[in-house]
Amino acid sequence: MDDEHKSREQLLYELEELRCLVSGTHAGKAIEDARQQLLGIIDFLPDATFVIDGEKRVVAWNRAIEEMTGIPKKDILGKGDYAYSVPFYGDRRPVLIDLIFNRETKFSHDYDFILKKGNTLYAEVFVPVIHRGKGAYLWVTASPLYDSSERLIGAIESIRDVSYHKRTEEALRREKEYVDFIVSTAANLICCVNPDGITTSVNQEVASVTGYEPGEIIGHDWWRLFYPGEEYAQVERFFECLWKGPIHNYEMTLTTKYGEKRVISWNMIKRYEAGGDLAEIVGIGTDITELKHMQEELRHQAEKIKRFAYSVSHDLKSPIIGITGLTRLLHRQYKDLLDEKGRKYCEQILKSSEQATTLVEEINQYIRARELPLFFETVKPKEILKMIRGEFDPLLSMRQIEWKEPERMPPIVADRLSLSRIFRNLVDNALKYGGERLSEIEIGYDVSGEYHVFTIHDNGMGIKTEGCEKIFDLFQRNESSRGVEGTGLGLAIVKELVEKHRGMVSVESGPNSGTTFSVSISRHL
């Protein structure tokens, strides 16, 4: 609008100069020169502009309005009877400039608004005809023209196409309505708090969870309202974290209007003004109170199950040991009295009781893998592999199985006992299920992104790919393991221990390609 203001000031200055010239001695020539100068200025104004005289005849129609309407000046100069409205509305009717002559002018179309500052009128309106019938939103100004005796002799109207700005405003309005709708109906708590702690905005979910109406929250200190007394210590810890960067899943316990405690998990960011000053803290929260209650109940139930499992395994182990001992005693002292079938029965009882003892021990190992805390320290995988190889060396030698491992492996951070158990179970798995064709077990190591990756490959008979992913579940055994003793817990224990190292375990296998287990362990423990 500054350019328009300057152009209008320049035009009024020229009109004043014209008035002075009229009163001079060479008025005739001076008037004509000034008139031409004035028309030249009007013609080159950037905004579409026209001028009418006291009879409402068009006396100036500049280049910009020619371009806007498609009407050349030769076709409209000198015409009255509202001819200047036809290019915009398709018919003759009063427009803003006519208010200069008659304040009671009635319009057959609606202006969005009309303002008056001094002698100048300002308005905004949609006109349907220009731009080949597409229409446009126009910003319009109209001012009176006076002669030297302050007599109204005409008026000037300038027009600017603001359709782009209106479309932008409309798009922003729709976007704001959409955002407001999303915020107001969101299942999350959403709030905005200024640097002084005063709440500037909340959605309906905040009101639903806290029991306060939005009007009872907005304009009040958020922190003092929801974290009274000793609970305010949460706020101090929160701000220590907030100044370090965005906050994700930060749990705080607020107090509702009725004194109830609710646990909210917050994600919060700081929004800054263009100048760099903190504008507000924007928080998006989730009420996890019920989730916390369920987690506590699950922990309670898990503890009960753990105690039950330990009790059952202990109660089972004692009679199994008794059965094993009695059977061995029977076999040793009365084998001469037993026939071949009796001795065979004793051997079967011994074998079954040993399997039951192994199963109980594996169950205990699985429970310990799930429940016992890990001690992360720097360990050397080469040392652990040396120990594992020593345990299996007699069997490796007897079956002439070659053992391969990298010459160098870097130290890693892990739980030593867990890493030993992982390697032991996977090597034992290869020896059990590799079959007669097994002749090689190879350990590999690599780094992949955020993980240490160990591979345990054997060239044995392989595993059927159907249901291969289920072998890490409890008591699951692949069809290829038929006829081989096992509890179905070894790989489940591996999975538990690997996941406690924030990693994952997978298997690839085929009938002719052997089996490869991949164990990924986080590098950031």
Question: Of 124, 106, 105, 104, which Cα lies nearest the Cα of 114?
Answer: 124
Range with the poorest average pLDDT among 61-65, 169-173, 297-301, 377-381: 297-301
- The reported pLDDT for the residue numbered 156 is 94
323 against 82, higher pLDDT: 82
pLDDT of residue 137: 93
CA distance 371 to 481: 29
Among 297-311, 396-410, 430-444, 453-467, the least confident range:
297-311
| 315: confidence class by pLDDT, cuts 50, 70, 90 | low
Q: Hey, which residues does 266 pair with through a beta bridge?
A: 250, 285
DSSP symbol at 374: P
Confidence check: pLDDT of 229 > 50: yes
pLDDT band at 23 (very low <50, low <70, confident <90, very high): very low
- Coil, strand or helix: which one is 106? coil
Residue 350, C-beta contacts closer than 8 angstroms, at least 6 positions apart: 324, 327, 328, 331
Give the chain's mean pLDDT: 83
pLDDT of residue 328: 78
Q: What is the pLDDT of residue 362?
A: 66
Q: What is the pLDDT of residue 135?
A: 87
Q: What is the 3-state secondary structure (H, E, C) of 184-203?
A: HHCCCEEEEECCCCEEEEEC
Tell how strand 113-117 and strand 120-127 pair up. Answer: antiparallel
Q: Give yes or no for a contact between 88 and 161, defined as CB atoms under 8 angstroms apart.
A: no
- The 8-class DSSP code of residue 139 comes to E
Return the sign of the alpha-carbon dihedral for residues 202, 181, 111, 12. Answer: positive
The lowest-confidence range among 119-133, 185-199, 482-496 is 482-496
For the beta sheet containing 48-53, the strands, ordered from the edge strand earlier in sequence to the opposite edge, are 58-61, 48-53, 152-161, 136-146, 120-127, 113-117
What mean pLDDT is predicted for residues 380-403?
Answer: 91
pLDDT at 7: 56
Is residue 20's pLDDT more than 60?
no
Res 222: pLDDT: 92
Pick the closest to residue 288 from 249, 323, 247 (CA basis). Answer: 249
pLDDT tens digits for range 495-509: 888 998 999 999 888
For the segment 203-210, the average pLDDT, to the nearest whole number, is 93
Q: What is the pLDDT of residue 326?
A: 77
User: How far apart (Å, rounded) are the C-alpha atoms in residues 487 and 360?
Assistant: 9
Question: How far from 103 is each of 100, 121, 455, 490, CA to CA, in Å?
Answer: 7, 11, 91, 95
CA angle 427, 432, 436 (to 5 degrees): 110
Q: What's the rounded Cα separation, in Å, for the pair 507 and 163? A: 63
Distance between first and last Cα of the chain: 62
pLDDT score of 209: 94
Amino acid at 34: A
Give the pLDDT band (50/70/90) at residue 468: low
pLDDT tier, 77 (very low <50, low <70, confident <90, very high otherwise): very high
pLDDT score for 44: 86
The confidence score (pLDDT) of residue 52 equals: 93
CA distance 321 to 328: 11
Alpha-carbon gap, residue 221 to 199, rounded angstroms = 6
Give me the mean pLDDT over the 263-268 stretch: 91
Q: Which of 19-28, 231-240, 294-303, 362-371 has the lowest mean pLDDT?
A: 19-28
The two three-digit tokens of residue 122, written as one number: 């300002």
Q: Which of 36, 63, 46 is nearest to 6 (CA)?
A: 46
pLDDT, mean of residues 279-289:
91
Report d(CA 414, CA 416) in Å as an integer. Answer: 6
**Using CA of residue 224, residue 227, residue 230, residue 236, what is the dihedral sign?**
negative
Q: How confident is the model at residue 240 (pLDDT cuts 50, 70, 90)?
A: confident
pLDDT digits (tens, 9 = 90+) for 30-41: 556 666 777 778
How many other CB atoms sit within 10 Å of the CB of residue 189?
24
Predicted pLDDT of residue 342: 80
In a 13 Å sphere around the CA of 79, the CA atoms on its Cβ side amount to 15
pLDDT tens, position by position, 251-263: 999 999 999 999 9
Q: What is the 3-state secondary structure (H, E, C) of 83-104?
A: HHHHHHHCCCCCCHHHHHCCCC
pLDDT over threshold 80, residue 363: no
Matching residue, tokens 């190292």: 501
